Structure 1
Amino acid sequence: MVFGTFVYAAETGLSCYAACVGLGSPDSKHNEFFAVEGKKYFTIWILVYVHALATIKSSVCITILRIAGANNKMRIAIWVLLAITWASYFVTFIGDMLVCRPIEGSWDTALVLSGKATCAPMELMIGLSHTATGSTITTDLACAVLPGIVLWNAQMDKKSKFSAFVLLSFASVASIVTLIRAFYIGHYNHPEDNLLFWIGHIALFSNIEIGIGCVAGSVPTLRRLFLRNRSSDESLPKQPQPFHPRSLVTFGGTPINRFGMKTRDKFKAPSEVGFSLSTVNTRGEWEQLQDGDEERGMATANTSVDSMHAAEHTRVV
C-alpha cells in the first residue's frame, strides 16, 4: 500500500502536467506542441497508472486474505483475484509499450506518416483499455462480495458484521467510477474528434479510482489505530482543572469557574475532609481560660484523682 501510494502520487503529478500541455482540452486550443506533448504524457501516465492499480488492488486482496483465515476455498478465490490483477497488469503494460515501434510513434504522428514508426491498429488500443476495465470491475466486485461471505458465519454481532463489511467492501465504490470511464474508451476510434479532450476524462476517473482504492486499503488499519489511541486516552487519569479566584463557590458544592467548567478537589465542605463542626448550648456563665490554665487544670485533676485513690486505700485497710 505504501509503494502504491507513492506511485499514485507520481501518476497524479503526471496527469496534472499533462493537463497543462493539452490533455483534456479540445483541439481548437491546441498547437503542434500541445498536440504532441499531451499524447506523450498521457502515454507515460498509462504506464505508471497500471503499476499503481496492480499494487493497491493487491493490497486490498491481501487484507481480505488475512481475514479469510483457514477457509481454503476463500483463499483460493482471493489468489485467483490476485492472478487476474497481475495478468491484466502485464497485458496492459506490455501492450502499451509495443503498440507503436518505437514508442515515440504513440504520440508523434509525424513519425508514423514519414514511415519512421509503425503502429498497430487502433482496435488494439481499444481492446487493451477494455481488458483493463473489465478486469478492474471484476476484481472490484469480487472484493465487495468476498468479505460478505467471510463474515456470514463469523461469531460476531450484526452491528460489528455490518461495520466490518462496509470497511472491507469500500473498494467496490471504485467499480462505479470504472464504469463511467468505460464510456470514453470508444473515442479512440475517432482520433480527429477532440481525442485529447475525451481521453482526459479517462485519466480523471482513473485517478479517482486509484484514490478510492488507497482509502479502502487503509481504512481497516486506520480504524484500529484510532480505536487504540482512543482507549489509551480514556485510560489516562483526568487532570483537575485549575482553580480560578473568580470562580463561583458554594458551600458543600463544587466551584464553577468562569469558563463554565467545574474545578474538582479545590474546595470541599468540612464533612468532606474528615471533620465536622457542632454548636453546644449550655446554661450558666463560662470561665475564660488564660495561658497556662490548661496545664494547671490537668495538674489539679491529677491531684484529685490521687486523693481519691488514697481515700479508697484507707477504707480498704
Structure 2
Amino acid sequence: MPGTNGPKIIVSLWVMTVVPLFFMLPRFRVKRRYSKLVGWDDYLLALSWVFILIYTVLTHVSVGYGIGKHLVDTDPVKIVDGIKFMYLGEIFALFAMPTSKTSFCVTLLRLTATQWHKWFIWFIIITINLTLWLCAILTLAQCSPVEKLWNIALPGTCWDNRIVINYSIFVGVWSCLMDLLLTVVPWLTIWNLQMNKREKVGVIVTMSLGCLAGVTCAVKTSYLPSVGTWQDFTFNTAEVLIWGLSESAITIVAASIPFLRVLVREASSKGGSGPYHHSDTTQSAQTNRTNSLSCKSRPNGYGNPERKNGYEGSDKSILGEPEEYLGAIVKTNEVRIEYAEGSDEENRGGMYEKGRKQVFKYGTAL
C-alpha cells in the first residue's frame, strides 16, 4: 500500500489542466483569424478552464496539508486546512462542468435552425446547470456554520451525509445521460448542412467525442456510494478528485477539436499551389468551395434564401469556409432557365410536355 496518493493527485490534475489548454488556444486562434469573431461559446469555454485551473491549484494546496495521505499519517491541525481547500476546490470543479457543457451546447445552437433541436439543446443547458449548481450549493449548505464542514471539532450541526451523497449520485447519472445525448445532437444538427459529406462526417465524429466525458462521469459516479463509509477518507478520496476533473477537461478538448481541422487543412495545403491542393481532384476542390458558399445561405439544407438566426463565428470555423470568403459578405446569384419540350408550333398552341427548369448558382464576395 503506497504511503500517499498526493503525487498522483498533483500530476493527474496538472496534466488534465494543461492538455485542454493546448486544444483551446488553437481554437481561439482559428476563431480570431478566420471568423474575426469570438462568441459566447468561447467565453464560456475559457471560463470553464479558469474554474479547472482554480480547482487544480486549491487541490494542490490541499495535498500539501495532508490530502492523499493515510489519515493516521496526517497532522491533525494541518489536515483541517487540507480538507477546507479540498472542498473549496470541489466547488469550482462543480462550476466547471456545467460551464463547459453549456459552451458546447451554445455552439450547437448556432448550427441548427430546426426549432425542436433548439428546444432540446436548451433543455440540456437548463437541467445540467440547475442540477450541478444546486449540488455546489448543497455541498456548502450541509453544515452550519459552514466551517464545520472541514473542522468537525467546531460546535454546530450537519445534515446526514447520505443526503448530499445520494443527490451527487443522481447528478452524476443525469450528467452521464446528458453527455450521451450531446453525442447524438451533432448528428441531428449538422447532417443537413450543405457540406462535403466526408468533412461533414468528420465534424460530427469529432463533436461526438463528448461521449468520453460521459464515460469518465460514470467512473467518478461509481465511487460516490462508498464515500460515506470511508474510514481513511484523506487517502481514498484521491480517485474522486482525479475523475472529478477529467469530465470537464475532456469536454473542453471535445469542444475544441472540430475547429482545429481548419489548421490541419491549412498545414496540409502549404506545399501546394492552392488552398485545396490536398484534395483528390480539382473537381473535389470546387465542390468543397461551392458547399461552403451554399452553407452560408442555407444552414438547414432546405433551400432557405437567407439566414435569419444570426449565426456567426463558431459555425463558420467548423464548416471551414475558404479563406477568400471568410469574414466577407457573399452574394449568391441564381439564374433560372426554363424551357419546354416539343416543337415551336406545339408550344404556341399550348400543347407541349411538362416544362423543365434548370437552376445555376454562383457566388461572389462583396
TM-score of the pair, normalised by structure 2: 0.58
Correspondence 1:49 to 2:87: no
Correspondence 1:106 to 2:149: yes
Return closer, same or farther for 1:233/1:104 CA change in 2, 3 Å cut-off: farther
Q: Give 3-state SS (helix, strand or coil) of 1:110's partner.
A: coil
Match of residue 175 from structure 1: 214
Correspondence 1:97 to 2:140: yes
Pairwise CA distance, 1:163: 1.1
Runs of at least 5 residues in structure 2 that lack an aligned partner in the other structure: 1-44, 275-366
Tell me, yes or no, if the aligned pair for 2:173 and 2:218 is still in contact at 8 Å: no
In 1, distance between residues paired with 2:229 and 2:203?
45
Determine what percentage of the aligned residue pairs are the same residue: 24
RMSD of equivalent CA atoms: 2.3
Tell me, yes or no, if the aligned pair for 1:11 and 1:48 is still in contact at 8 Å: yes
**C-alpha deviations, 1:183-206, integer Å up to 9, x for none?**
221233224x11122222111011
Return closer, same or farther for 1:183/1:198 CA change in 2, 3 Å cut-off: farther
Pairwise CA distance, 1:131: 3.0
Tell me, yes or no, if the aligned pair for 2:148 and 2:156 is still in contact at 8 Å: yes
**Of the candidates 145, 149, 152, which is equivalent to residue 188 of structure 2?**
149
Match of residue 264 from structure 1: none
In 1, distance between residues paired with 2:271 and 2:89?
44
**C-alpha deviations, 1:102-121, integer Å up to 9, x for none?**
1111110101xxxx221111
Correspondence 1:223 to 2:267: no
* Larger Rg, first or second structure (1 or 2): 1
**Mapping 1:168-317, distance limit 5 Å:** 168-191=207-230, 193-228=231-266, 231=269, 234=272
In 2, distance between residues paired with 1:13 and 1:222?
28
In 2, distance between residues paired with 1:199 and 1:46?
12
In 2, distance between residues paired with 1:189 and 1:26?
16
Q: Give 3-state SS (helix, strand or coil) of 1:22's partner.
A: coil
Tell me, yes or no, if the aligned pair for 1:187 and 1:195 is still in contact at 8 Å: no
Pairwise CA distance, 1:39: 1.8
Count of matched residue positions in the alignment of Structure 1 and Structure 2 = 231
Q: Where does structure 1 differ by over 6 angstroms across 4 or more consecutive aligned residues?
A: none
**Of the candidates 76, 79, 102, which is equivalent to residue 32 of structure 1?**
76
Return closer, same or farther for 1:13/1:74 CA change in 2, 3 Å cut-off: same
Pairwise CA distance, 1:136: 1.6
Partner amino acid for 1:96?
T
The structure with more strand, counted as a fraction of residues: 2
Runs of at least 5 residues in structure 1 that lack an aligned partner in the other structure: 237-317
Tell me, yes or no, if the aligned pair for 1:97 and 1:103 is still in contact at 8 Å: yes
Correspondence 1:64 to 2:113: no
TM-score of the pair, normalised by structure 1: 0.67
Q: Give 3-state SS (helix, strand or coil) of 1:108's partner.
A: coil
**C-alpha deviations, 1:1-32, integer Å up to 9, x for none?**
11111221111112222223222322232220
**Of the candidates 48, 64, 79, which is equivalent to residue 122 of structure 2?**
79
Match of residue 3 from structure 1: 47
